[in-house]
Amino acid sequence: MKFYLKAITPIFVFAFFYSFLSICLGARGFFARQQLKRQHEALVRHVQLLSDIGEDLNIRIANLSSDPQTIVVYAHELGYVQKNERLIKLMNFSGAAERTEDAGVVYLIEAPRYLPDTVCKTIAVSMSIIVIICEMIGSKKNAHSKKSS
C-alpha cells in the first residue's frame, strides 16, 4: 500500500466516525432532535389540557357570578341557609360535597440525552489508531512474506 494511502486512511476513518457519531448521537443529532420533538408534542398536549381546565374554571366562575340558582346550590353545599329554611342535622353525616378544582399538574422538562463532542472525538481517534495498528500489522506481514519468498 502506498504511503499516502496509509496516511489518508486513518484521517478518513476519523472523519467518517466523528461525522457519523455527531450526526446521529451528537448534541444536535437525530437522536437528540427526536427527544426534543417528543417533548414538544407532550408540552403541546399539556398546554391544551391546561387550556381546557382554564375554560372549565372560567365557566364555573361565570355561573357563580351571575346565576342565582348556582350560587344557592354552592351555598347549601357549604352549609349556608336562607332566612326561612330549617335544617335537619344528621349525626356523623357530612352532607356537604367537597369541591376541589383541579388546576393541572406541573410538567417537568428533561434535557435531551446525547453523546458529548469529546466522546465522539475520542471514539473517532480510537478507530483511527486501530486502523493505523492494522496497517502496521499488515505491512509487517507483507514485509515478512516478501523476505520468506
The rounded distance, in Å, linking the Cα atoms of 110 and 36 is 9
Residue 40 lies in a domain: no
What's the rounded mean pLDDT across residues 32-38?
A: 96
Domain that holds residue 142: 1-29+114-149
Residue 94 lies in a domain: yes
The CA distances from residue 31 to 36, 79, 113, 139, in Å, are 9, 57, 8, 39
Residue 39 lies in a domain: no
**Is the separation of the CB atoms in 49 and 55 below 8 Å?**
no
Q: Which three cell numbers stand for residue 13?
A: 476513518
Same domain as 149, residue 102: no
Same domain as 105, residue 56: yes
Q: Which three cell numbers stand for residue 20?
A: 457519523
**Is the separation of the CB atoms in 52 and 59 below 8 Å?**
no
pTM: 0.66
pLDDT digits (tens, 9 = 90+) for 57-113: 898 888 888 878 887 777 777 777 777 776 666 566 565 556 677 778 888 889 999
Burial class (CB in 10 A: 0-12, 13-18, 19+), 26: buried
Strands (E), the chain: none
Number of domains composing the chain:
2
Same domain as 106, residue 133: no
In the chain, % of residues over pLDDT 70: 87
